Structure 1
Amino acid sequence: MARIRSSSEGKTLSRRSDAPARKADPRKAPSSSRETPSRNPVRETRSPTIRNLHQDSFQAQATSTRGLNAASGSGGTGRTPPHVQRANESMERIRSGNLERAANPQPVPFKPGTPDLQYDGMLVGSGGVDASGKPVILMYPPDTAISDVQPFTPRGGVRNDETLIYTNGILTDTAGQASSLQYLADLTGSATVGVRNSTAGFLRDLAQSGVDTLNPEWLNPASVALAETVLAELSQGKPIHLVGHSQGGLVTSNALKIVDSILKGTPQETGFDARTLDTMRQGYQDMKVETFGSAAHDYPAGPHYVHYINVQDPVPSEIGLGGNIPSATVEDFQRRAGGDKATVYFLNSPGNNPHSPLPAHDLEALYLANRVPFAEAQRNAGKIIPSKELGADELMAVGVSERVATELSLRYPLLELDSQHSGLDTLQSIVREYKDFAPPGASVDDFVKQLFQDAARGNPSKPEEGVYTLMRVLGRIADAPPDGDWVGTLEYVRHDYERAGHTHATQAIDRLIEQLEEAGF
């Protein structure tokens, strides 16, 4: 029997003489028959096409917003609300390829107390401050050139020639978006302008997010305004850098799907001449897109992307891109993130803003605090970057490939609980010894993946809890008295858990013993 030294405690473990005998488990099955459980099926979404862009898709939008007429100032009379009218006009300009910008755009000063839907799909700029020192927010029609929008500028002065175009998430009023635009400007040194994604209350915002997710061709006014802005800027050969948070990431994804469908069309289909289309296609490939806690679960290939996903934030982890992790391969996940030009950073934090209703989803205190400068982030294009708190580095340190370590650490954040640290250390010891005793041709990747998959099966409804149980069990081994081998010590620990009635822990130990015995321990 192999003698193994725990990397965390420096103890040599050998069999305890008082360990109870373990009965054979009739449920033992060949390793090849086991599969990773899945909580969420991989979701497919529809993208707009040239054909449905030329249908009157906004008739559905106008119908769906009829219940909001009173809030938007139409008094419930059935008249088309202003925000839907703007969206219809934007879509018509997109359909026709006539994206000439307004010659003399007239901004409207934001008035606190005005129903927020009045501003949905408008561009947001800064008017400086009024006589009392309060910020003045200017709202521009969506056919305004970005260069004609008076931007928010860094308090320390502009440090580069970029203008970031930021779309907000749900439950963010206009003043809140303006505050984020100023924060983003100060952080990046760039000028910033906004695309207004208005709020109509939690339930209505959530419902709109659901419609945007399931039916991207029934786009909301903010998505259409952003698509029009991107197409117009591309047609002029101007660089574009988009930023989206929460539902704003979903708005951005749907806008890019409109842009993508247009750029795949012919001059006859789009209304753009061949030379302009070539210019737009090249600019599209050069575009920069950043998302933070986004609700979108896929993005069209083309632009350079940097995504930030906090595993403790339910918006990107359950609704957005992170929701694909349990059932998607790393390659499929990367494709959904935008392909080999996308970098995805995974964070693991509960957040620290006591004033936020969801600190793990907070834009400024959490996501922007962890932002990497775009050029630096793009050096990792085509990669998923787990934060150190997720445990991938520890797996790679014992020979697990970067791909498998990333996949496992995202499915089961190994360092989420402090009590798992010693368990991960002990797992490293097991894997190191496995290298010496494994059958010829057997890989560390397969061994570790099978161990995690078996642990996940211990709690099918919450597979990550099964893995956490395994890590706690391994932590007990690290703290066990010396003079025992791996299997003997596990049997002793199993006896303790079984006596205490911890079924999941007992099952996790049984599977771990099977794995070790199959590996020759």
Structure 2
Amino acid sequence: MNPIQRGRQLISNVASGTGKVLNKAQDAVSDAAGAVKNTVVAGGRAVGNAVDGFENTVAKGAQAVGGVFGFGNQPDRVHDGKFVGAGGQTFSPDTPLSQIPAVTPRNNPNPTQTILYVNGINTSKDAQASSLQSIADTSGARVIGIHNATEGMAADLAQCVKDKLDKGHNPAVDTLADTLYNEIKSGRDVHLMAHSQGGLISSRALGDVYKRLRIEDGMSQGDAQKMMGKISVETFGAAAMHYPDGPKYVHYVNRADPVPSLFGLGPVADKWNPAVDGGKGSKVHHFTEPHLNPIAAHGFESVYLQHRVPFDQAREGNFGR
């Protein structure tokens, strides 16, 4: 073999050796990346499992606490997410609103406006039915409830946490979202009222409606918000901090009520608190009605309905007393 051939052979051997080294290095990097990926995936699963496990523990603990202290009301669960009409009758979530006999004002059996109402925590179906009558008498409208069932104070609070995180299944959210979507897609206006956790449920359902308009119907942001302008919303002592733009909002907040003050829109105007958003163009009525028992300051019929004024008047900022 002449010198030139030996030189070529040497170059070939070096190239071959380098190639093997590079291949081994590439394999090592690939194996390392795969190991990292598997670790991340496994870690993600572990975190997910931890969250789910935590939720299950909270739910079981809440049920146990509710049972020990006697606030459990498991029978009410059968009404979860159902419509509540006149006489406390319940109807399945797929029932058209036109087929539900609404609660009407005592002094006006033939009102033209319909209001949907979502109740707060620790409220049985019969207690909600009583609230429906109070709303009808106060507003002069026919009223239909969407029931947020109670399983006891502790379990209800655990569900509020999940609603805050927009996580888990809440039948009242599904019924309300489907109802709002179907009504506005049919060209009908909707008037919604909600108290306490009902405000959380409403915020979550309104967000679902907005997503459906954007994703399923392919609407632009502007068109979706315009469509949602058919929805009028009144909240009372609500525990939600954010509401999607589009609907017309009036929010009532008792500064002496710990629920909206700590977990909702807060005791001051939302323009001073960037952490909250009542929805574009919303009107927030802050008032102060203290009670020796702070929970009493959260009462729907005893406190909030006493401060309500007609929706259009409230939208003009004229709350009066």
Mark yes or no: TM-score above 0.5.
Answer: yes
* Distance in 1 of aligned mates of 2:316 and 2:131: 27
> Deviating runs (4+, > 6 A) in structure 1?
65-68
Deviation per CA, 1:242-268: give whole Å up to 9, x if none.
Answer: 000010111111100101111222xxx
8 A Cα contact 1:120 1:196, kept in partner: yes
* One of 290, 295, 305 as aligned partner of 1:358: 295
8 A Cα contact 1:249 1:294, kept in partner: yes
* Distance in 1 of aligned mates of 2:56 and 2:93: 21
* Distance in 1 of aligned mates of 2:190 and 2:264: 23
Q: How has the CA–CA distance of structure 1 residues 240 and 351 changed in structure 2, closer, same or farther, with 3 Å as cutoff?
A: farther
* Distance in 1 of aligned mates of 2:58 and 2:176: 23
* Distance in 1 of aligned mates of 2:95 and 2:218: 22
* One of 112, 117, 123 as aligned partner of 2:83: 123
Q: Which has the higher contact order (CA 8 A, sep 6+)?
A: 1
- Shift of the alpha carbon at 1:331? 7.2
Q: Does 1:306 align with 2:253?
A: no
8 A Cα contact 2:188 2:230, kept in partner: no
Q: How has the CA–CA distance of structure 1 residues 329 and 192 changed in structure 2, closer, same or farther, with 3 Å as cutoff?
A: closer
Amino acid at match of 1:359: A
- Shift of the alpha carbon at 1:281? 5.6
* Residue in structure 2 matched with residue 346 of structure 1 by the alignment: 286
2:210 match: secondary structure: helix
* Residue in structure 1 matched with residue 166 of structure 2 by the alignment: 216
* Distance in 2 of aligned mates of 1:241 and 1:252: 12
* Residue in structure 1 matched with residue 200 of structure 2 by the alignment: 250
* Residue in structure 1 matched with residue 8 of structure 2 by the alignment: none
* Residue in structure 2 matched with residue 330 of structure 1 by the alignment: 272
* Distance in 2 of aligned mates of 1:144 and 1:180: 21
Identity of aligned residues (%): 38
Q: Does 1:205 align with 2:153?
A: no
1:367 match: secondary structure: helix
Q: Does 1:234 align with 2:184?
A: yes
* Residue in structure 2 matched with residue 288 of structure 1 by the alignment: 232
8 A Cα contact 2:233 2:249, kept in partner: yes
5 Å-filtered alignment, 1:8-27, equals none
* Distance in 2 of aligned mates of 1:351 and 1:170: 19
Deviation per CA, 1:110-148: give whole Å up to 9, x if none.
Answer: xxx87111111111111xxxxxxxxx3211111111111
- Shift of the alpha carbon at 1:218? 2.7
- Shift of the alpha carbon at 1:179? 0.1
Q: How has the CA–CA distance of structure 1 residues 66 and 350 changed in structure 2, closer, same or farther, with 3 Å as cutoff?
A: closer
Amino acid at match of 2:299: D
- Shift of the alpha carbon at 1:283? 4.0
Q: How has the CA–CA distance of structure 1 residues 307 and 178 changed in structure 2, closer, same or farther, with 3 Å as cutoff?
A: same
* Distance in 1 of aligned mates of 2:83 and 2:120: 15
* Distance in 2 of aligned mates of 1:66 and 1:143: 31
Amino acid at match of 1:197: N
- Shift of the alpha carbon at 1:358? 2.1
* Residue in structure 2 matched with residue 81 of structure 1 by the alignment: none
For normalisation by structure 2, the TM-score amounts to 0.72
Where does structure 2 lack aligned partners over 5 or more consecutive residues?
A: 1-51, 64-72
- Shift of the alpha carbon at 1:231? 0.7
* Residue in structure 2 matched with residue 163 of structure 1 by the alignment: 114
5 Å-filtered alignment, 1:81-480, equals 115-126=75-86, 136-158=87-109, 160-213=111-164, 215-265=165-215, 270=216, 272=217, 282-322=226-266, 325=268, 329-330=271-272, 332=274, 336-340=277-281, 342-351=282-291, 358-380=295-317
* Distance in 1 of aligned mates of 2:264 and 2:277: 11
Deviation per CA, 1:418-470: give whole Å up to 9, x if none.
Answer: xxxxxxxxxxxxxxxxxxxxxxxxxxxxxxxxxxxxxxxxxxxxxxxxxxxxx
8 A Cα contact 2:81 2:93, kept in partner: yes
Q: How has the CA–CA distance of structure 1 residues 331 and 150 changed in structure 2, closer, same or farther, with 3 Å as cutoff?
A: same
* Distance in 1 of aligned mates of 2:116 and 2:193: 6
- Shift of the alpha carbon at 1:286? 2.5
Amino acid at match of 2:274: D
Deviation per CA, 1:386-426: give whole Å up to 9, x if none.
Answer: x99xxxxxxxxxxxxxxxxxxxxxxxxxxxxxxxxxxxxxx
1:243 match: secondary structure: strand
8 A Cα contact 1:247 1:294, kept in partner: yes
Amino acid at match of 1:172: T
* Distance in 2 of aligned mates of 1:314 and 1:259: 29
Deviation per CA, 1:303-330: give whole Å up to 9, x if none.
Answer: 000000011100000111117x59x743
Amino acid at match of 2:279: G
Q: How has the CA–CA distance of structure 1 residues 67 and 217 changed in structure 2, closer, same or farther, with 3 Å as cutoff?
A: closer
1:193 match: secondary structure: strand
Amino acid at match of 1:295: A
8 A Cα contact 2:184 2:230, kept in partner: no
CA RMSD between the two structures: 3.1
- Shift of the alpha carbon at 1:367? 0.5
* Distance in 1 of aligned mates of 2:127 and 2:90: 14
Q: How has the CA–CA distance of structure 1 residues 66 and 210 changed in structure 2, closer, same or farther, with 3 Å as cutoff?
A: closer
Deviation per CA, 1:460-483: give whole Å up to 9, x if none.
Answer: xxxxxxxxxxxxxxxxxxxxxxxx
